[in-house]
Amino acid sequence: LWVPSEAAFITYFKEKQLSSLSALSDTAAWALCQRHVVPGTALPLRQLAPGLPITNLRGENLSLELGADTLLNQAPLRSARSDRYAQNGVLHELEAVLD
């Protein structure tokens, strides 16, 4: 699961001129959530590699870049906040909302 940080959501709402997530239609909110979920995988960051197919619930392919900065679809990934294990997956914090 790719989780946008609180700051990422604040920036997203400001750019979209929205007051909050509840300002989105149910369809738009669901689509936004689906962009951040990769079904069937629970990989820590160290097991992800460029070229590894990453497809979200919407069927969109995500691109991962590793290096001095780690990027997912050009959104900076906060390595310090990656690999947070949950009962049914792994959370990785993004510094942007995938839109």
- The structure's pTM equals 0.81
Two tokens, residue 63: 């691109």
Which amino acid is residue 90, in one-letter code?
Answer: V
Is residue 18 scored above 70 in pLDDT? yes
- Domain parsing of the chain, residue ranges: 2-94
Over residues 40-90, the pLDDT tens digits come to 878 888 787 777 778 999 999 888 777 666 666 666 666 557 788 888 889
* Residue among 7, 1, 10, 12 at smallest CA distance from 97: 12
Q: Please tell us whether the domain made up of 2-94 is placed in CATH 3.40.50.300.
A: no
**Better pLDDT: 40 or 32:** 32
Two tokens, residue 96: 């942007």
